[in-house]
Structure 1
């Protein structure tokens, strides 16, 4: 791992802004998500199914709005995109402690539609700030910091919800997150690289998805479904395993070891600036190592297995964004990253019912096998689509040169 690569990336002021403001916004946002569940169950006295419906409404609204929000970042800029969020979201969250379940559903739908696109913003800022040769390191750093935010945010959220009133804990964490968004509005960082004085201006009108959607981007979206499904399914399988072993009190330890593997893997990947690692290989590695979770018959064996799987978590996420950055023109990057978030949300939403059903009927070990198996199938699907694209391009190239293609037989 080349620490000098990270020092060079950190030297960019915009990268530092994205890292600091992104962490300050993401960590309490992740914490607010767990507090929302506890508020429905403890504060409103509802069931976990009711809490799941609130989460589902919020998730669906976020998935729908993510491409639109990314497109706004491309067309009107960061400040004009975030100002409506800073007006509506504080009102919605401040109302949360005082409204019943029905109105809370409405409020969370509004929050989802105007949610701050944290991942798109920090990634666009990072990509705009660094040259191509530093892109992998910068994106790996973004993934690692997101992993840290995901570690500390929910932990602090649970502590706050069990110490304070859940409604006011939700308000506090949400407003703290929005302070990070306010920081972005004040700084108003560039989301595209500066244009050289000698470069010709791009005066072509903006078109739709057909301008940037190709096989490489489509397979990246499939990879995002695979990654998100595998991570969400693993989360559920770990909980099922620890409950079956009677070691639920050590759940936090296993999750922390899993996250530490992700941090290590992300840092190593970011230091490999001179090597190309195919995204399909990383997704397949994530799926295969997840399968090994089925062998974790004790909590410490499960921890070791998940640490191995963790090596591919932040790595796969960073590689997917890197691939988007290479295949999508900069002026469409926000929209593409928004769609990437939508496909990741789809994977997150599909995993719990599928893996949960398998665990209920076949046990936690089958949950790991199902999670890794689906990940492998999706990785294979992406690989087959890419191979078909390569063969098609060769056939077209051969036809244009006026000779028959050997692949046409």
Structure 2
């Protein structure tokens, strides 16, 4: 663990890490608060699904666009503007009852103006620590983000149930503004200037590693969305065991243990030197734990096998960050992370949709099986692309140099 102690000796590292976690905390709250708020306001979960879908579409579009804008306009202007606009739109939905079509349009704008915190911070990280420590920082970041997905829904449900969904949306907006300001005002940000990319939007997809990271991220996150839905269904009366009563609490415990495994895995294994086969091994660990969940839906069994699967989760996300950072030019890393994020967002929607169909036809086991199949596809993608992945053994993680055409006048 000494490597994490060494990270703290670099000025500004932990401030950036914790401030970006606070700025991203609303992302763990918004889905469930919007679901509850729209259902109460319009009387149907189907309408809530429409609003959430439009928000996801807007967020998927904004990933590459807002990330690229940071190279043109600077990080602070883009982050400050999107944070404020997004927070204001959340407050509008909280207190103004509008026709569903207009509300869905506002939700689309919320997605479109989602602050690009993740691409920004992962672009900043290489400037904060030496290349030899970057893998550990990516790993710590991937492990720490589990706090968002464990505490976010808990805070969302507590605030919404005690004080109302409108208050819940305001709390999410407050986190977005306060956390965003803390992150934006970090001195480290002023020292990072992203060079303007010389190529058009989407040109970064010519990097094989960006395509690989986006596709792998899509299937990886889709698998998580599917198994989460399966776990919730298993303890809400939809499983063969007929669980009821404390179902939501039990599913929360299982998912928290899953996230706890990811946290442990990120801290213990995630900083290991990345080899071309490392991504495959980390995905395989998650696959083993997920497939074992097919054996039984007993809460203790699920906690044990999903903790095992969780050990590979944060390390896999850390590997994706390291792959992008070590193979993409610095001027294009923000956009690259934007595309990777878009792949993951689409994966959430696709995984949830597949899980819903599977649960309707086969019960909770169907969603867990769908998750297993998605992870098999994910592992296959990582396996067939091993030759395109970097070997970072004994190497510092550094982006390739910026190169361009230089005109030399003839004498």
TM (normalized to structure 2)?
0.86
Question: By how many angstroms is 1:146 displaced?
Answer: 0.9
Q: Can you list the C-alpha shifts for 1:316-369, whole angstroms capped at 9, x where unaligned?
A: 111111111111111100000000001111211111121221222123223212
Q: Can you list the C-alpha shifts for 1:207-244, whole angstroms capped at 9, x where unaligned?
A: 55445632232212111112111111110111122232
Written as runs of structure 1 = structure 2, the 5 A alignment for 1:207-218 is 208-210=201-203, 213-218=206-211
- C-alpha separation in 2, matches of 1:375 and 1:56: 24
Match for residue 158 of structure 1?
157
Question: By how many angstroms is 1:189 displaced?
Answer: 3.1
Contact 1:287–1:376 (Cα < 8 Å) also in 2: yes
Question: By how many angstroms is 1:134 displaced?
Answer: 0.7
Match for residue 238 of structure 1?
231
Alignment CA distance shift 1:180-1:374 (3 Å): same
Q: Which has the higher helix share?
A: 1
For structure 2, the residue ranges without an aligned partner over 5 or more in a row are: 391-411
Contact 2:323–2:389 (Cα < 8 Å) also in 1: no
Q: Can you list the C-alpha shifts for 1:347-397, whole angstroms capped at 9, x where unaligned?
A: 11111121221222123223212211122123213432445899xxxxxxx
Match for residue 143 of structure 1?
142
Question: By how many angstroms is 1:92 displaced?
Answer: 1.2
1:104 aligns with 2:97: no
Alignment CA distance shift 1:277-1:194 (3 Å): farther
My pick for the range that moved more, 309-318 or 85-94, is 85-94
Contact 1:122–1:142 (Cα < 8 Å) also in 2: no
Question: By how many angstroms is 1:81 displaced?
Answer: 1.0
Q: Can you list the C-alpha shifts for 1:257-298, whole angstroms capped at 9, x where unaligned?
A: 111111111111234358775212222332232111111331
Alignment CA distance shift 1:134-1:275 (3 Å): farther
Alignment CA distance shift 1:51-1:229 (3 Å): same
TM (normalized to structure 1)?
0.86
Contact 1:225–1:344 (Cα < 8 Å) also in 2: yes
Question: By how many angstroms is 1:123 displaced?
Answer: 1.6
**3-state SS, counterpart of residue 13 of structure 1:** coil
My pick for the range that moved more, 54-63 or 105-114, is 105-114
Alignment CA distance shift 1:207-1:307 (3 Å): same
My pick for the range that moved more, 243-252 or 273-282, is 273-282
Alignment CA distance shift 1:297-1:205 (3 Å): closer
1:11 aligns with 2:9: yes
1:66 aligns with 2:66: no
Match for residue 214 of structure 2?
221
Alignment CA distance shift 1:366-1:29 (3 Å): closer
Q: Can you list the C-alpha shifts for 1:143-198, whole angstroms capped at 9, x where unaligned?
A: 11211122112111110000012112212221222211122333363388689xxx
Written as runs of structure 1 = structure 2, the 5 A alignment for 1:36-51 is 36-42=34-40, 44-51=41-48
Q: How many residues align?
A: 381
Written as runs of structure 1 = structure 2, the 5 A alignment for 1:292-371 is 292-371=292-371
Match for residue 263 of structure 1?
263
- C-alpha separation in 2, matches of 1:125 and 1:287: 32
- C-alpha separation in 2, matches of 1:297 and 1:211: 43
Calculate the aligned-residue CA RMSD, in Å: 2.5
Contact 2:262–2:307 (Cα < 8 Å) also in 1: yes
Match for residue 121 of structure 1?
120
Contact 1:293–1:305 (Cα < 8 Å) also in 2: yes
